[in-house]
Amino acid sequence: MNANAASRHLRVAFEAAALIARNLRRTRGFATVPLRHHDGYRLCAMRRPHLPGALALYAELHDGQPLDLPRRWLYRLAGNRLGVVALDINGRVVGAAFYGFSRRDLREDRVHSSFSGVHPAHRGRGLATELRRTAILHFRANGVRGYSSRISADNVASLKPSLRLGFHIAERYQDPVSGEQRYYLVCDFDDDYRDDTTQGREPQPPTPETERKAVP
C-alpha cells in the first residue's frame, strides 16, 4: 500500500469514527423513539431485531447497494434513538427512516434525514408522512430544534409528505455528482411543524414563504 492510499484509508476511518462518536454523544440521554399507530401499521424505534429488515429495504431501494458500514454500526448502536421503522401486521419492516447529526446539524441544532423509504406495496397510505411525524415528535421531545433533509426536485412522492408537515425549501442546488436539481428542506418544530394534516392535505407548491432561508 502506498503512502497516499494509506492516508486515504486513515482519513476514511477517522471520518467514520467521528460520525459514530458525534451521533452517540449527541443522542446520549435521548429517550427511545415512541410507538405510534397508523392505519394498521406500527411505527416504532429501529431496534436491533428490526435492523436486518430496515437494511434490506434500504438496499432494495438503492439497486442492491447496502448502507455504508459506519452507518450500519451507528444504527446497531443507536437505532432505537436515531431510526424509525414501520411494521405491518406481521411485524415485517415495510418502511424505514434513518436520521443522524452532521457537523452542520450540530451547529444548527437540527437532525438530518439520511434516507427514508417505504416498500412499493405499502406506498400512498401515509407511511412516509407518519415516519417523518414520528421523528419530529421524538426529536422535538428530546430538545432538538428542527429537522433537515435533501430531496430531488422531481421526487414528488417525497416532497409531498414533507411540505405537508411544514417543511420549507431553504436552499436549491444542483447535485455535483448527478447534476440533479435538489432541495435542502428544513422544518423547525416550534415554528414550522404542522400537525393538522388530516384537513387541507394538499401541500402548497413552493412559495417565497416555503423557500425562506432558514435562520439558524
Ligand X SMILES: CC(C)(COP(=O)(O)OP(=O)(O)OC[C@H]1O[C@@H](n2cnc3c(N)ncnc32)[C@H](O)[C@@H]1OP(=O)(O)O)[C@@H](O)C(=O)NCCC(=O)NCCS
Of 11-19, 33-41, 117-125, 168-176: span binding ligand X (CB under 6 A): 117-125
Please tell me whether residue 36 binds ligand X under the rule CB under 6 A: no
Round the CA-based radius of gyration of the chain to a whole number and report it: 17
Q: What are phi and psi of 166, to 5 degrees?
A: 110, 5
Distance CA(39)–CA(94), nearest Å, equals: 13
Please tell me whether residue 116 binds ligand X under the rule CB under 6 A: yes
H helix count then E strand count, the chain: 7, 8
Considering only 128, 135, 144, 185, the residue that binds ligand X (CB under 6 A) is 128
Please tell me whether residue 135 binds ligand X under the rule CB under 6 A: no
Please tell me whether residue 100 binds ligand X under the rule CB under 6 A: no
- Say if residues 216 and 107 touch (Cβ distance below 8 Å): yes
* Look-up of cell digits 428490526: 50
Task: Please report, as residue ranges, which positions from 161 to 200 form the binding site for ligand X (by CB under 6 A).
Answer: 161
- The one-character DSSP state at 121 is G
Considering only 44, 45, 84, 127, the residue that binds ligand X (CB under 6 A) is 127
Q: Closest CB to ligand X among 34 and 200?
A: 200
Q: Which helix (H) or strand (E) holds 90?
A: none
Given the rule CB under 6 A, which residues bind ligand X? Answer: 61, 115-118, 123-129, 151, 155-158, 160-161, 201
